[in-house]
Structure 1
Amino acid sequence: MTGSADRSAVEWLVAVAPDPEACRWEWERNPLGVALLPAGKRWDVLILPGELGYPTLDILNRCVDRPGPVLADFGDARMGFFVPAGTAARWVGTGVRGAGDGTWIVVPYPGRATGGVRWLIPPDGTGTLTDPALLELAMHEAAAQLARTTDP
């Protein structure tokens, strides 16, 4: 990402904070490079186990030019796909957790390396999100691929 894209992404992300200016100020000075931001305002996050999330992301990357932002935790055990606000409340799926209205997530500063949670696909600053229907289809395809490789 370029510096201006990083700034646009930061502005887009901190816009959901109760005090965006204070959030940005703290975030830029936080040695861990992370902020706690509320989900459910502009976006929700669907959290998949890493073993399903990575093949799902591979499929999404083949289907669209650029999916919405995607996070990975520090052990690659979980991945968070940014989807439109309200998706988590309507999502029905085994093994998928939703972070929506009333929840908060740890978000790394775009363009800065952190020792923990990191961007696999950083926000672009324009509000691009992953379409939940496309994410569901990609998850089904990824699960089918996993089943084929684990069946004897």
Structure 2
Amino acid sequence: MDRVTEQELSVWRLFIQTHSKIIEKIEGDLAEEKRVPLSTYDVLIELFEAPGRKLRLGDLTKKVVLTKSGLTRLVDRMEKEGLLKREKSEEDKRGAYAVLTEAGETELRRAWPVYAKGIKTYFAKPLEEADLQALNKALEVLRQTVED
């Protein structure tokens, strides 16, 4: 097994801690403004951007940062809140789609300004353009390395 260098470990920890703090700040801003939490926003934006504003539940699991059981509980809650609805698959009777509702789109649009301000304030604004480009390049390399 390859040894992890001090620098690699330090950068990894900094990445995790920074990500966690930024998410915590944005979550706090959304809660303060009485908007949907980020996990809900994540599902709503994936549905909004999907063809026909719907995704098979299995495909949704691959797109959001939640476990399958966590997503199931979230989808149940979002369905009760009227933000999405489940629709049976005509092709596969056992499969189902999550479909964005009007109420879900409304909540997505209400949350976006708060989320966008958080991205700008806690992530983009402190960085120079060259920093953003370098970070984009590094993250793209990492994403391509771990992509299925």
What TM-score comes out, normalization by structure 2 length?
0.31
Which has the larger strand fraction?
Answer: 1
Greater C-alpha Rg: 2
What TM-score comes out, normalization by structure 1 length?
0.31
Which structure is higher in RCO with an 8 Å CA cutoff and minimum separation 6? 1
Which has the larger helix fraction?
Answer: 2
